[in-house]
Structure formats: C-alpha cells, structure tokens
Amino acid sequence: MKIQIDSSLYERATKASATAGYSSVDEFIAHAIERELKRLDAEDAEQQVADQLRGLGYIE
C-alpha cells in the first residue's frame, strides 16, 4: 500500500525519525498514525462516557 504525502513533510519526517532513533521513516510514520488513532479513539470514548454520565445526572 502506498500513501502520498507532501515531499517537504516527508523530509521532515525522515529527519525526525533519525533523531528519535526509529529504524526507518516508515516505522516513524506508522507509529505516528497509530498514536493519532489511539488519541481519536480515546476522545470518542470520553465523549460517550460524558454522554452517559450526563444522562445519569452526574455531570452537567
């Protein structure tokens, strides 16, 4: 699978991956995507929890 990204972003990612000790820029990008997906999942979960708590009268 190929994903297109801006060349300057790719260059920045390459430099950052080397600085951070990743074995390749691919690994760095995969890790960044994973982290962002986890963040979005967590945000979604907290919203669902908030809706439930509001329904039960525990938050406003």
Contacts to another protein by CB under 8 A:
41-42, 44-46, 48-53, 55-60
Burial of 11-38, coded b for 16+ CB within 10 Å and e otherwise, reads eebeeebeeeebeebeebbeeeeeeeee
Rounded least distance, CB 34 to another protein, Å: 15
Q: Tell me how far, at minimum, the Cβ of 29 lies from another protein, in Å.
A: 24
CB of 40 to another protein, least distance (A): 12
Residue nearer to another protein on the CB measure, 21 or 57: 57
